[in-house]
Amino acid sequence: MKICIITMISDNYGNRLQNYALQEVLKDLGHVVETIHNPWRKKYNISLEKWKFIIKKIIFYITKRPKRFKRKLNFEKFNDENICFSRYWINKKRDRIKANKFYDLFVCGSDQIWNSEAEKIDGKYFADFADRKKRVSYAASFGIEYIVDERKKEFKKYLSEMEKISVREQTGSEIVDALINQRPECHIDPTLLLSKNKWDFIADKYKKPCEKYLFCYFLGKPTERILNFLNEYKKKNEKLNILSIWNREDETHNNVGPGEFLGLIKNAEFILTDSFHGTVFSIIYHKPFYTFSRTGVKESMDTRVVSLLKLLELTDRFEPENITLDGVEKIDFGKSKIILDREKKRAIEYIEGISK
């Protein structure tokens, strides 16, 4: 079967790694799998003024933000080496018609492709250009707990026209049920479907940066409590380095690509993060970790990580009342592994069912 993945494509670690994971799972089942190009772009006819702006932006990043530019190049390198992209561009009507004829199935997901906080709900994330029987999703996320009233009509239309729906969070299942009276299954993020050995294929391409280190990955700004803990830990563990990716303008390793990011988690002594996928890969590699609420965003953004930690019975790793040195290093992953193996089996059965 020829399968096309529809997902967001951005310079975000979790976004690229979940795309790769779903691609590999489908390929392992014997399918030809491609990801369709740039579904988020609104226009391709760029004016001269727009080109001038783009060129100025490139020059700015090369001269003033060289690390950010290198990061962009590292993401492009990861895509070139690991993601099989479609020949078609989803925002071109002619290409959408051709894609519908060429592919046997369109899988929407994973990640927050159905986040309703965008300016306009984009039907292409629901494969609205394809034959209905070809429209399915896997672990699609709304990224929020409810849909505002002015968006419900659009969501109801697109969801009701899909052949099969799978969501990532329980709140997503409740949203769909409320809109179209259909309770979809919840499935784990595709990154959790690949084995540690499979991820090692990506992570082991990169050298370990230093002998022992604590890895901090924050998309929001670390709180005073976290910074105080890091200072305390550094005093008691002088030989342990602290490597961090946070605060876009002041990052230690802000130029690393998805593969290097994966290596940083694999080789860390333990991890502090406010990221869903930072949490996911800590679990995959059985690393001691704490996950925190992300500052500067709506509280509902925590839904994803709380849902996952509840499922795996690891809720004590989220927003601990007291961050202690002993607490960081004590996690029994035995029970969570049993649960995860069960969820993997259920997810693969669903994927096999939609791709017969």
Instruction: State the pLDDT at residue 54.
Output: 58
Q: Alpha-carbon torsion 101, 107, 111, 117, what sign?
A: positive
pLDDT reading at 201 higher than 80: yes
Tokens encoding 82:
């690991």
In a domain, 113, yes or no: yes
Q: Are residues 92 and 159 in the same domain?
A: yes
In a domain, 199, yes or no: no
The enclosing domain of 126 has a CATH number of: 3.40.50
Tokens encoding 337:
């592994």
Helix axes 13-28, 334-354, angle to 10 degrees: 60
Q: Are 173 and 146 contacting, i.e. CB atoms less than 8 angstroms apart?
A: no
In a domain, 323, yes or no: yes
The boundaries of the domain holding residue 263 are 204-337
Instruction: State the pLDDT at residue 245.
Output: 85
Q: Are 156 and 127 contacting, i.e. CB atoms less than 8 angstroms apart?
A: no
Q: Are 167 and 153 contacting, i.e. CB atoms less than 8 angstroms apart?
A: no
Tens digits of residue pLDDT in 220-230: 888 888 888 88
Name residues whose C-beta falls within 8 Å of residue 330's C-beta, 6 or more positions apart in sequence.
288
Of residues 85, 77, 22, the one with CA closest to residue 206:
77
Instruction: State the pLDDT at residue 309.
Output: 95
Q: Are 193 and 347 contacting, i.e. CB atoms less than 8 angstroms apart?
A: yes
Q: Are residues 28 and 163 in the same domain?
A: yes
At which residue do the structure tokens 């409320």 appear?
178
H or E segment and range at residue 137: strand 135-137
Q: Are residues 155 and 218 in the same domain?
A: no
Instruction: State the pLDDT at residue 242.
Output: 84
User: Which range (176-185, 190-199, 258-267, 297-306) has the least confidence?
Assistant: 297-306
Instruction: State the pLDDT at residue 42.
Output: 42
In a domain, 264, yes or no: yes
Tens digits of residue pLDDT in 134-153: 999 999 999 888 898 989 99
Q: Are residues 111 and 225 in the same domain?
A: no
Instruction: State the pLDDT at residue 71.
Output: 84
- What is the residue-averaged pLDDT of the chain? 87
Tokens encoding 334:
């035995």
In a domain, 263, yes or no: yes
User: Which range (121-130, 175-184, 197-206, 301-310) has the least confidence?
Assistant: 301-310
Q: Are residues 10 and 156 in the same domain?
A: yes
H or E segment and range at residue 152: helix 149-160
H or E segment and range at residue 74: helix 66-82
pLDDT reading at 304 higher than 80: yes
Q: Are residues 41 and 182 in the same domain?
A: yes
Tokens encoding 59:
């020059």
Q: Are residues 236 and 313 in the same domain?
A: yes
Q: State percent of the chain over pLDDT 70.
A: 86
Instruction: State the pLDDT at residue 89.
Output: 86
Mean pLDDT for the stretch of residues 334-352: 97
Instruction: State the pLDDT at residue 159.
Output: 97
Cα(346)–Cα(38) distance, integer angstroms = 30
Cα(58)–Cα(80) distance, integer angstroms = 20
Instruction: State the pLDDT at residue 250.
Output: 46
Query: Helix or strand or coil: residue 136?
Result: strand
In a domain, 198, yes or no: no
Q: Are residues 48 and 73 in the same domain?
A: yes
In a domain, 38, yes or no: yes
Tokens encoding 341:
């193996």
User: Which pTM was predicted?
Assistant: 0.89
Q: State percent of the chain over pLDDT 90.
A: 57
Tens digits of residue pLDDT in 8-30: 888 899 999 999 999 999 999 99
Q: Are residues 60 and 158 in the same domain?
A: yes
Instruction: State the pLDDT at residue 247.
Output: 54
Tens digits of residue pLDDT in 39-66: 444 444 445 555 555 566 667 666 656 6
Q: Are residues 222 and 165 in the same domain?
A: no
In a domain, 319, yes or no: yes
Tens digits of residue pLDDT in 248-276: 544 556 788 999 999 999 999 989 999 99
Instruction: State the pLDDT at residue 236.
Output: 80
Domains held by the chain: number: 2
Q: Are residues 209 and 174 in the same domain?
A: no
Q: Are residues 187 and 262 in the same domain?
A: no
